[in-house]
């Protein structure tokens, strides 16, 4: 996810070389903040002189002793994660591939890509068993080219997952369970990607998308975001509109998970009220611990428990510590403890938001560091069953139930509702009430198909009549 708190200074990027398009007012600029571009960590190496070695040892002794205990917890964490590899709810690597490499993944090596939080080796070190990759496009594309840009992000994710044998694209809960690789799934981040069209939801589902965040940092014509200050789209929307409720219903029918990260509390409450399936927060934390608008207040956590849904705790430092400088693994663990108290450990998962957020807690700098979090929770007394739950079992429960709702909806008709034109009118949305170019087929000339009497009968009758004439003549 992108930085929400300040209006960023914008850079323009080179357009994709494979597109030679005249700029139109319906093409978004895809302007990214410098903060969106991941900064490469610089590691500093200390050199130790032999004559200072004894002093160094004295200084380091307490740490050495503590680290022995840590090592045990770390060992247990790793063992646990080997048995129950993590399903992470949200990762923006695809956005970085766009920003840094214009989606030209043939030119890079995802095994050890150094410029991102995420690469395949780090995922393996972090015992990641499944990852939801975010197909995200900026809100500035709303009412412009959001659909095409979203398709391009889905395309780069699919290409990435097919070009590396360590990755495997799946679309079901069973697919995650069966995979011996890193299972890849797709989530769309923001309802602006469907351009107010239920057909688009169905198309994205067909392409393998299995969750949609109802908003990103902008309102859509039918849903309200938690970030009010960044964009001025549809300022009067409150929660979910009538059409927004149809979106939620169609997502239930299709089996697409409803993601409430980035939505306002009103939107979240409305969705929880009508959804027949459990919902998710793919990357959000606890409002009571840090009162950031991206986080989930206690009453919604309680509703989520009744809904049997899941909040996948996120690691973005601004959402964890509300301005505190010292943000570390313990800060993250506080959120886990709180949500466990309010909604039970079965309501918790992990959604790191790597390669989307700008800064991460000390100790959780990239996707290889997940074991550090499990280690901390072990220290706090979380038991193995609870930890396997947050690593994967809770999410799988939610996904299976969403799939069950889909199966139970088989007799339901496809939702053919449309948003009212006045709710969504804009200059890049064509009004097809007049009919250009394609002539209307039948209004000028009614089609006469068969006259109703089979031609065989006509020709048979004629033949018989003529035969009779012939016979008479002869």
The residue from 436, 451, 452, 453 that contacts other proteins (CB under 8 A) is: 436
Catalytic site positions: 90, 92, 189, 216, 262, 283, 353
Report if residue 18 touches other proteins, rule: CB under 8 A. yes
**In this structure, are residues 91 and 116 in contact, taking their beta carbons and an 8 Å threshold?**
no
Round to whole Å and give the CA distance between 346 and 276.
19
Nearest residue (CB) to other proteins, 73 versus 199: 199
**In this structure, are residues 309 and 398 in contact, taking their beta carbons and an 8 Å threshold?**
yes
Give the three-class secondary structure for 471: helix
Report if residue 455 touches other proteins, rule: CB under 8 A. yes
Report if residue 375 touches other proteins, rule: CB under 8 A. no
Give the three-class secondary structure for 154: helix
Helix-then-strand count for the chain, H and E: 16, 9
Report if residue 154 touches other proteins, rule: CB under 8 A. yes
Q: For residue 312, what are the β-bridge partners? A: 349
**In this structure, are residues 334 and 86 in contact, taking their beta carbons and an 8 Å threshold?**
no
Helices (H), 255-349: 265-274, 298-307, 317-321, 329-343
Longest CA–CA separation in the chain, Å: 134
The residue from 44, 48, 58, 470 that contacts other proteins (CB under 8 A) is: 470
In angstroms, give the least distance from the CB of 449 to other proteins. 6
In angstroms, give the least distance from the CB of 113 to other proteins. 20
Report if residue 413 touches other proteins, rule: CB under 8 A. yes
Report if residue 5 touches other proteins, rule: CB under 8 A. no
In angstroms, give the least distance from the CB of 267 to other proteins. 23
Report if residue 250 touches other proteins, rule: CB under 8 A. no
Other CB atoms within a 10 A radius of the CB of residue 64 amount to: 9
The first and second tokens of residue 200, run together, are 């688009």
Stretch that binds other proteins, among 15-23, 50-58, 63-71, 322-330 (CB under 8 A): 15-23
Nearest residue (CB) to other proteins, 3 versus 143: 143
Total number of residues that touch other proteins (CB under 8 A):
62
Report if residue 437 touches other proteins, rule: CB under 8 A. yes
Nearest residue (CB) to other proteins, 178 versus 418: 418
Chain centroid, CA 294 distance in Å: 15
Per-residue interface string for the shown chain with other proteins, residues 167-206, x marking contact by CB under 8 A: ----------------------------x-x-xx-xx--x
HEC per residue, 13-41: CCCCCCCCCCCCCCCCCCCECHHHCCCCC
Round to whole Å and give the CA distance between 127 and 249.
35
Which residue in 96, 119, 83, 133 sits closest to 283, CA to CA? 133
Cβ-proximal residues to 152 (8 Å cutoff; 6+ apart), any chain: 98, 103
Nearest residue (CB) to other proteins, 247 versus 268: 247
Per-residue interface string for the shown chain with other proteins, residues 75-114, x marking contact by CB under 8 A: ----------------------------x-----------
In angstroms, give the least distance from the CB of 213 to other proteins. 19
Give the three-class secondary structure for 123: helix
- Give the footprint of other proteins on residues 112-141 (CB under 8 A): none
Backbone angles phi, psi at 204, to 5 degrees: -65, -40
In angstroms, give the least distance from the CB of 223 to other proteins. 18
Which residue in 124, 138, 108 sits closest to 29, CA to CA? 138
Nearest residue (CB) to other proteins, 26 versus 61: 26
The residue from 68, 430, 452, 453 that contacts other proteins (CB under 8 A) is: 430
Round to whole Å and give the CA distance between 206 and 200.
10
Round to whole Å and give the CA distance between 322 and 288.
11
Report if residue 441 touches other proteins, rule: CB under 8 A. yes
- Give the footprint of other proteins on residues 20-39 (CB under 8 A): 20-22, 24, 26-27
Stretch that binds other proteins, among 104-112, 154-162, 332-340, 368-376 (CB under 8 A): 154-162
Stretch that binds other proteins, among 167-175, 262-270, 398-406, 448-456 (CB under 8 A): 448-456
Report if residue 429 touches other proteins, rule: CB under 8 A. yes
Which residue in 334, 345, 333, 328 sits closest to 389, CA to CA? 345
Stretch that binds other proteins, among 251-259, 310-318, 331-339, 423-431 (CB under 8 A): 423-431
Nearest residue (CB) to other proteins, 325 versus 416: 416
- 67's torsion region: left (phi>0), alpha (psi -120 to 50) or beta? alpha
Stretch that binds other proteins, among 18-26, 45-53, 306-314, 401-409 (CB under 8 A): 18-26
Q: Taking CA 315 as the corner, what is the angle to CA 309 and CA 317, rounded to the nearest 5 degrees?
A: 130
- What is the DSSP secondary structure assignment for residue 444, as one 8-state letter? S
Instruction: Give the binding site for other proteins (CB under 8 A).
Output: 18-22, 24, 26-27, 103, 145, 147-148, 151-152, 154-156, 158, 195, 197, 199-200, 202-203, 206-207, 413-414, 416, 418, 427-430, 432, 435-447, 449-450, 455-456, 459-460, 462-463, 466-467, 469-470, 473-474
């Amino acid at each position: 996810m992108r930085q929400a708190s300040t209006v960023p200074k914008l850079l323009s990027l080179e357009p994709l070389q494979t597109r030679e398009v005249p700029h139109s007012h319906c093409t978004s600029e895809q302007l990214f903040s410098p903060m969106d571009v991941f900064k490469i960590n610089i590691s500093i190496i200390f050199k130790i002189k032999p004559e200072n070695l004894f002093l160094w040892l004295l200084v380091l002794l307490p740490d050495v002793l503590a680290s022995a205990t840590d090592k045990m917890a770390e060992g247990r964490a790793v063992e646990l994660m080997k048995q129950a590899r993590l399903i992470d709810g949200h990762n923006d690597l695809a956005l970085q591939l766009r920003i840094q490499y214009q989606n030209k993944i043939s030119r890079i090596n995802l095994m050890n890509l150094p410029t991102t939080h995420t690469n395949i080796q780090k995922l393996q070190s972090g015992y990641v068993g499944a990852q939801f990759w975010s197909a995200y496009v900026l809100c500035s594309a709303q009412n412009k080219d959001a659909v095409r840009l979203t398709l391009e992000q889905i395309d780069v994710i699919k290409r990435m997952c097919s070009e590396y044998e360590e990755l495997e694209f799946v679309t079901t809960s069973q697919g995650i369970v069966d995979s011996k690789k890193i299972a890849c799934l797709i989530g769309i981040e923001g309802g602006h990607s469907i351009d107010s069209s239920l057909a688009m939801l169905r198309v994205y589902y067909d392409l393998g998308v299995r969750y949609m965040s109802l908003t990103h940092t902008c309102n859509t014509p039918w849903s309200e975001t938690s970030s009010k200050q960044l964009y001025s789209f549809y300022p009067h929307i409150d929660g979910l509109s009538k059409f927004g409720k149809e979106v939620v219903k169609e997502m239930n029918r299709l089996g697409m998970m409803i993601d409430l990260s980035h939505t306002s509390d009103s939107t979240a409450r409305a969705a929880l009220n009508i959804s027949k399936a459990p919902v998710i927060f793919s990357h959000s934390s606890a409002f009571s611990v840090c009162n950031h608008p991206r986080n989930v207040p206690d009453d919604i956590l309680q509703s989520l428990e009744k809904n049997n849904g899941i909040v996948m705790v996120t690691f973005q430092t601004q959402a964890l510590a509300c301005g505190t400088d010292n943000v570390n693994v313990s800060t993250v663990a506080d959120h886990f403890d709180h949500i466990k108290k309010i909604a039970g450990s079965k309501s918790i998962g992990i959604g790191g938001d790597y390669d989307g957020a700008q800064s991460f807690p000390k100790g959780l700098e990239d996707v290889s560091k997940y074991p550090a979090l499990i280690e901390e929770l072990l220290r706090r007394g979380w038991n193995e069953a609870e930890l396997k739950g947050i690593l994967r079992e809770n999410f799988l429960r939610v996904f299976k139930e969403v799939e069950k709702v889909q199966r139970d909806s088989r007799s339901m008709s496809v939702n053919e509702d449309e948003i009212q034109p006045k709710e969504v009118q804009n200059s890049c949305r064509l009004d097809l009430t007049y009919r250009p170019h394609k002539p209307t087929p039948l209004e000028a000339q009614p089609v006469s198909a068969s006259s109703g009497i089979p031609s065989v009968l006509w020709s048979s009758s004629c033949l018989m009549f003529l035969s009779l004439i012939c016979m008479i003549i002869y």
